[in-house]
Chain A
Amino acid sequence: MTLTEVRRAAPDAVVARGLTKVYGEGDAAVHALRGVDVTFATEAFTAIMGPSGSGKSTLMHCLAGLDTVSGGSVHIGDVELTGLGDKQLTMLRRERIGFVFQAFNLLPTLTAEQNIRLPLEIAGRQADQVLFDRVIDTVGLGDRLRHKPAELSGGQQQRVAVARALISKPQVIFADEPTGNLDSRSGAEVLAFLRTSVRELGQTIVMVTHDPLAASYADRVVFLHDGLLVSELSQPTPQSVLDTLLTLEA
């Protein structure tokens, strides 16, 4: 049974039920998530949208096991996250989750290639050479692989970060505003790369963004507002995303 077959058998990569997250206590308590039920399908590219402060990053952190939840449950594949200790969460992140952050994604002391291989090294796993070549091919960096991050452009850095997330064949990749710091051309390259990864490599990606154009690259968009899931769109276009946002603001 190959990994792809396993994923087919489990239709949903990430499932959250009744997710709540409260920061602080008493009067100062902030209810960042107030009961979110959401499912992210395998081999799909899903975007999480919402106005600033709506709880997008919090949701992503809770789904990825980077932060503890206040209530509800999260499953990555068949593993329930809530109740896992730090060590188990770390192992889970190693084996099943990939990350792309908005900035500071790469270790400045390592070359682009070393950065890409880093998750495998940490996990003590061998790189799948076929996959590695394909990823390198798709990332389109070619001769710049031996350069340090400081010598790469912002767009190139983000593509290296995506390549790094892909290389360990995680069950799901979480990307938090991966194009937030990029100009629109570099942003488009990174988004295209993400979409290609889903289409051609069968990767599952969940991306947080507040940019309707970025969201339109996804297969599906879910909308957050005030810590609640309020709406969702399939096969979004920039216009349809913008329209939905406007109705939410109103």
Chain B
Amino acid sequence: MLRTTLAGLLAHKLRLLLTSVAIALGVGFIAGTFVLTDTIEAGFSRSFSADADRVDVAVTPGDGGKGEERPTVSPAHLAKVRAVPGVAAAEGLVRGTAALVGKDGKTVGDLPTTGVSIHQGKLNRSTITSGTAPRTGQAVLDENTARIRGFAVGDTISVLDSARKTRSFALVGLFDVGVDQQLAYTGAVGFDPETAREMTGEKGFVELDVLAADGVAPDRLRDAVAAALGKGYEVRTGEQLAADLAAANGANSRLLTVGLLLFGLVAMLVAALVIYNTFTILVAQRAREMALLRCIGATKRQIFGSIVLESAVVGLISSALGLLVGLGLGAGALAVLDAMDVSLPTGTAALAPRTIVIGLVLGLLVTMAAALLPARTATRVAPIAALRTQVEEHTFRTGMVRAIFAGLFLLGGLGATVAGLVMDPGEVALLVVMGGGCLTFLAVVVLGPMIVRPLSAFAGWLPARLFGVPGRLAVANSRRNPKRAATTTIALTIGVTLMTLLSVLTGSIRMTYGSQLDEQFPVDFVLATQEGDSTMPHSIAAELRSRPELASVVQIRGAEARLGEDRVDAGAFEGPFDVTTVSGSMRGFTAGSVAMADRLAEERAVKPGDQVALTTPKGGTVALRLVAVYDGSASRIPPLLVPVPAFEEYFGEVGDAQIMVNVADGVAADRARVAVEAAGQAYPTVRLLSSTELRSEFDQAMDSQLMVLAGLLGLAILISLLGIANTLSLSVHERTRESALLRALGLTRPQLRRMLTVEALVLGLIGALVGVTLGVVFGWAAIQTMVADPLFDLPVQQVSSFVVLSGLAGVVAALLPARRAARASIVGSLASG
């Protein structure tokens, strides 16, 4: 039996290949995920240990109390450490904000650059890649920032100190931030330790690095340092530090792994469907062969075994192939990340034993499981079938069981969806709706063979009219085996459903937030500082008010206060601003009163008329009357508002955190922009955002997210296309005689090709139509559970492009099978079968 199976496989290399590619892509994606994250993780731990090698003992501050600022180690403690016997040298690392000013006079980047201390001698942990380490009056820049901002060694650079005064430094070198994600993200300026403290205004150190004297073991020194410092500090050897950093980083990359694996599993599911379908068709086609085997004495078990064995061989070969694909995908992703300047450690991609085992086992299991049902069908072939000549047509009758199952799934799915919709928006509701979506999808899978016929009539309506006889024959063919057509298209449906869901979600979220932006901020420009905690002088707002081009200017100030025990961001606004009240009224908003955002009021369980106790730096604890609760969903107003005079009384003189500007009617946007820019020109940290810029920033972020997700889903779609190609080529094989007959009756080669192409087109369209419907419905349901008062946006262009692309993809999938069919000689085909 084994030999028969293997001989059969070898005789049909092509069908083996197509099936293999489907499973190999699925396994490849999963293996590639592991290769990628393994390589990144290994790279990180390598650079962590290389970094920590230069240090014998490291001291970091403990966790610190709740609500406190980032804890640091004080200079006094550095002195203590230096006094510990066995310490050869000790340095404190300074890290804090030191905003680099770009060539346009404005601070660079979305966030201010980070200032760090660079130490001379052995304890220097930064890699100076060109030039020298900085001394007094000098600075170094990280390579990336220097390149992007156009600075070179020898230039003079301006950096804002802690008082936001501009200071100049000679740029003497460039350094590499290694795998430090924070520095890579913000960009970094390096100073000598003294200057670094001055510039950042940081009084303490984020870390102390200690070098042991000759002959002192690191762990002994660690104990001695720990004893000298007492509680509240974490003292580790360099080795421990590296290990801890690597572990913390590992948790991050595991998140990435899980996320990617989800997409891998979708791909595997699609591959399983493709395999299931392929084996089903093969079993149907080889019914006579198997009946012959039964005639000459093979048992049902042997038949079953031979199919399962075939699937095992296919599964094993393709999983092995998949591992290679994974290696390539992983290496490719690394290369892409590298090219995109993502600061990740480089390393060679490699297959870990764990990856190999998971890939092989998963591929093997999925393939064999997908072949089980077809194998069981094969055992039902009666020996007498060997003697029948005409291949039976696969008529499909709706079974009771099928109808009941479909009904149950559908009821459950719709029930769960409705339940989720009724709930308050939130994670639970979303999960319930998604569960409902999965059940509904199952219902569609079960119903598939029943709905394929009407759907093919619908999807085939136009092609049948456009493509004449070949078109009509194709539409008839697409529905002749509903079960097969359903399985083939369901594979595509999965990908299209998820794509549509994503695009509806993205569109709706964009629209919802966009309208919130418009509603809450009917403003044209917002002025804000680069750093959240610094402010703008009131003179800017005064200057803006004097401009005839501008219609209204609203200043918003913010400061930290306490409400009972809890920290709260308090604020005040000045200028024509309409607060959207939910309850109460802003009319009584005078001294002694306060207004709150809805969320905060709910949290504190207070309503208009209640008294609240606000503790402020200058005003002490005051009892205030809550007069209004307002819609706080727009993030730009602070959650607690007091009138301006009261604010000044409580917090003293505080600059503006934001200034919102409206342009006067009839003033061109660029002229208004010049006016607003002029007002902020003198202040490097002040940045100007226009509402259209805000919108487009938000849109861009959403778009790039959608692109990445769509790219990841693309694989599932690619696999389902292999499924269509596979089904089609097996069908073509099955219908060799039919094609020959049509050719004899006068169908030309191009017409025969067109017939098969239209069939694939119709299959693709059916898959897409079902997918788009499910995706739109559940995208709509999902958005209802994600935000309150959502707007629904159907990105018609995107969604219809999915339908068109699916159809086209079907056409592409048909290329090879159609070519093969058209090339076959009529006489040869008539003789076969």
A residues sitting closer than 8 Å to B (CB atoms) are 61, 64, 66-67, 86-87, 90-91, 93-95, 99, 101, 103-105, 107-110, 118-119, 121-124, 148, 150, 164, 181
Contact = CB atoms under 8 A, between A and B. Distances in A.
A109 B476 contact: yes
A150 B744 CA distance: 21
Nearest to A99: B744
A24 to B, nearest CB: 13
B675 interface: no
Contacts of B742: 107, 122
Nearest to B831: A57
Contacts of A110: 473, 476
Contacts of A87: 748-749
Given A94-B745, A148-B393, 14 more contacts: A61-B827, A66-B744, A90-B743, A90-B746, A93-B744, A93-B745, A104-B738, A105-B741, A107-B738, A109-B473, A122-B745, A122-B746, A122-B747, A164-B745
18 contacts: A86-B749, A87-B749, A91-B748, A94-B745, A99-B744, A103-B389, A107-B473, A107-B741, A108-B738, A109-B473, A109-B476, A110-B476, A119-B746, A121-B472, A122-B751, A124-B468, A148-B393, A150-B395
A179 to B, nearest CB: 15
B105 interface: no
A101 B830 contact: yes
A101 B746 contact: no
Contact of B826 (A66, A91, A118, A148): A66
Nearest to A108: B393
A118 B746 CA distance: 10
A101 B744 CA distance: 10
B206 interface: no
Contacts of A181: 389
Interface in B467-515: 468-469, 472-473, 476-477, 480
Interface in B767-805: none
B704 interface: no
Contact of B833 (A90, A93, A104): A104
B374 to A, nearest CB: 22
B476 A121 contact: no
A124 B472 CA distance: 13
Contacts of B562: none
B660 to A, nearest CB: 68
B471 to A, nearest CB: 11
A85 to B, nearest CB: 11
B621 to A, nearest CB: 85
B46 interface: no
Given A66-B826, A66-B827, A122-B746, A109 B741 contact: no
Contacts of A122: 469, 742, 745-747, 751
Contacts of B476: 107, 109-110
Given A109-B473, A122-B469, A104 B741 contact: yes
Given A67-B827, A109-B473, A90 B747 contact: yes
Nearest to B477: A109
Given A61-B827, A108-B480, A122-B469, A94 B389 contact: no
Interface centre among B392, B744, B751 (most CB of A within 10 A): B744
A216 to B, nearest CB: 26
Contacts of A104: 390, 737-738, 741, 833
A87 B750 CA distance: 10
B517 to A, nearest CB: 56
A205 B274 CA distance: 48
A122 B752 CA distance: 11
A150 B390 CA distance: 9
B184 to A, nearest CB: 63
A107 B747 CA distance: 13
Contacts of B746: 90-91, 93-95, 119, 122-123
A121 B827 contact: no
A188 to B, nearest CB: 21
| Among all A-B residue pairs, the 3 with the closest Cβ atoms | A94-B746, A109-B476, A67-B827
Contact of B390 (A64, A103, A124): A103
Nearest to A176: B830
A159 to B, nearest CB: 16
Contacts of A67: 825-827
A9 to B, nearest CB: 25
A61 B826 CA distance: 9
A90 B752 CA distance: 12
B745 A119 contact: yes
Nearest to B737: A104
A161 B727 CA distance: 29
Contacts of B825: 67
B748 A99 contact: no
A67 B749 CA distance: 15
Nearest to B750: A87
Contacts of A119: 745-746
A17 to B, nearest CB: 21
A90 B741 contact: no
B393 to A, nearest CB: 5
